[in-house]
Amino acid sequence: MKISVIGCGYLGAVHAAAMAKLGHDVVGVDTDPAKVATLAAGEAPFHEPGLAELLLDGVEGGRLRFTTDITETAGAQVHFLAVGTPQQADSDAADLRFVHAAIDALRAVVQPGALVVGKSTVPVGTAADLAVRLAETGASLAWNPEFLREGYAIADTLTPDRLVYGVTDPGQAALLDEVYRVAIDAGTPRIVTDLPTAELVKTAANAFLATKISFINAMAEIAEATGADVTTLADAIGHDARIGRRFLNAGIGFGGGCLPKDIRAFTARAEELGRAESVAFLRQVDAINLRRRERVIDLSVELLGGSVFQKRIAVLGLTFKPDSDDVRDSPALDVAARLHGLGADVVATDPHGIENSRMRHPQLDYVTDVEAALAGAELAVLVTEWDEYRSLDAVRVAELMGSARIIDGRNVLDVATWKAAGFQYRGLGRE
Ligand code: UDX
């Protein structure tokens, strides 16, 4: 099938490569010529395991190409809309300008009978408006939200947990079944619904995940006041299958390009709909999440005897989670910048996040080698749980630092081992 993907950011680049892998003839469109050149060379513009191989395979196999010229999508039967919907600069609402620009550009090129399929995360109600704007072209609109996680984006796209189609007629669902034939034949659950439900599935899923993380982080706050251990608590309640252990890791909280902005956009949309009360708890979810960063700062001050000023602090991790180079809304980078703002002598390290961090916070000192970051530090703060930080040898770290103090912002270190090596250890919601 001839397919176009409009917008080649995280979502679009992965989707285009995955569609080519499924055997479709794919053209990806982006307004950024540098990104298009990188993708057209079969290279990944960001760190995502498996993406470079898939891109190269598609490009060399002639099933995948990239362009800045949207008119090259004219012959496609299905146009996926994968542009970004960031948070507006001056409010919590989603900025839909890229979605509108894409629809305007598509209106000039789509053929009657073509299907435009939204994948971007949008405020519920957006799709119905876009469908009206497309109607005069003879093309129609469906919504097919994407649930991919960074670091697992290829697998999440090729073998998703479920497929959700928001459609206005059954023919659209049949066409999407052809697009996803491989997954459908493999038994992937498929939910066919209307446009607003499909939009809301995505928003609700992210709101639920964020709530789950903030719930356990709220319990961490209670644990800190009582001497209880939040990791043991999470293990114990997680055994209840109705609760489940996943997404119950307490720590410095969630970040990234999705969860923070999506819960804020949801709150803003609910207010527009006159339903602010229904999701008022999401303000708390956001507030709890941001308080965890403060906690790391407070612990740093406490461990360093009342002030971080001119104290050398090694910050281990900058990305919002491991196996990613993404620092958008990263709690780790925020902690590093705040400590620097308080006058600390911060040395930050990360296996893949330094380049992107430097663009946002050029004032910080970055080193690529974790031992160089730790050397002479009076405090180590582990804020992204990369394997290489989880597996650090406590005795060696103590030797490097000279003063053995560590904050485990992700609760991934073995407390007994680090204490035995002489560390003053602080977790979040334990010890
Ligand atoms: C998320 C959703 O999982 C995905 O379905 C959606 O399509 C996009 O948003 P992603 O942003 O890639 O995916 O990251 P995810 O793995 O969900 O982690 C989000 C944040 O939550 C990270 O900062 C992570 O460190 C944090 N987190 C996750 C916790 O603090 N505790 C947990 O138990 C789980």
pLDDT in tens, 250-272: 999 999 999 999 999 999 999 99
Nearest Cα neighbor of 127 from 114, 113, 115, 138 is: 115
Q: What is the pLDDT of residue 307?
A: 98
User: For a substitution probing ligand 1, which of 144, 219, 254, 261 has the most ligand atoms within 8 Å of its CB?
Assistant: 254
3-state secondary structure the chain: CEEEEECCCHHHHHHHHHHHHCCCEEEEECCCHHHHHHHHCCCCCCCCCCHHHHHHHHHHCCCEEEECCHHHHCCCCEEEECCCCCECCCCCCECCHHHHHHHHHHHCCCCCCCEEEECCCCCCCHHHHHHHHHHCCCCEEEECCCCCCCCCHHHHHHCCCCEEEECCCHHHHHHHHHHCHHHHHCCCCEEEECHHHHHHHHHHHHHHHHHHHHHHHHHHHHHHHHCCCHHHHHHHHHCCCCCCCCCCCCCCCCCCCCHHHHHHHHHHHHHHCCCHHHHCHHHHHHHHHHHHHHHHHHHHHHHCCCCCCCCEEEEECCCCCCCCCCCCCCHHHHHHHHHHHCCCEEEEECCCCHHHHHHHCCCCEECCCHHHHHCCCCEEEECCCCHHHHCCCHHHHHHHHCCCEEEECCCCCCHHHHHHCCCEEEECCCC
Residue 385 CA: nearest ligand 1 atom is 25
What is the pLDDT confidence band of residue 68, given thresholds at 50, 70 and 90? very high
Confidence (pTM): 0.96
Kindly state the average pLDDT of the residues 191-205: 98
Domain 194-431 fold is: Rossmann fold (3.40.50)
Kindly state the average pLDDT of the residues 11-15: 98
Q: Which residues are catalytic?
A: 258
Q: What is the pLDDT of residue 420?
A: 98
Enumerate residues lining ligand 1, CB below 6 A: 147-150, 206, 209, 213, 247-249, 251, 253-256, 258-259, 320-321
Binding annotation for substrate: 147-150, 202, 247-251, 255, 321
What is the pLDDT confidence band of residue 65, given thresholds at 50, 70 and 90? very high
Q: What is the pLDDT of residue 270?
A: 98
The pair of three-digit structure tokens given for residue 16, joined into one six-digit string? 């285009």
* Cα–ligand 1 centroid distance for 256 (angstroms): 7
Ligand 1 atom 13, closest CA: 149
Please state which of the four CATH numbers 3.30.450.20, 1.10.1040.50, 3.40.50.720, 3.40.50.11540 is assigned to the domain occupying 2-192.
Answer: 3.40.50.720
| Arithmetic mean of pLDDT over the chain | 97
User: For a substitution probing ligand 1, which of 209, 231, 324 has the most ligand atoms within 8 Å of its CB?
Assistant: 209
pLDDT for 112 beyond 90 = yes
Kindly state the average pLDDT of the residues 348-359: 98
What is the pLDDT confidence band of residue 431, given thresholds at 50, 70 and 90? confident
What is the pLDDT confidence band of residue 73, given thresholds at 50, 70 and 90? very high
Kindly state the average pLDDT of the residues 75-103: 96
User: For a substitution probing ligand 1, which of 11, 121, 163, 259 has the most ligand atoms within 8 Å of its CB?
Assistant: 259
ipTM above 0.95, yes or no: yes
Binding annotation for NAD(+): 30, 35, 85, 121, 150, 261, 328
* Cα–ligand 1 centroid distance for 259 (angstroms): 7
As annotated, the residues of the chain forming the CATH 3.40.50.720 domain(s) are 2-192, 194-431
Q: What is the pLDDT of residue 154?
A: 97
What is the pLDDT confidence band of residue 402, given thresholds at 50, 70 and 90? confident
What is the pLDDT confidence band of residue 95, given thresholds at 50, 70 and 90? very high
Kindly state the average pLDDT of the residues 124-142: 97
Ligand 1 atom 16, closest CA: 149
What is the pLDDT confidence band of residue 227, given thresholds at 50, 70 and 90? very high
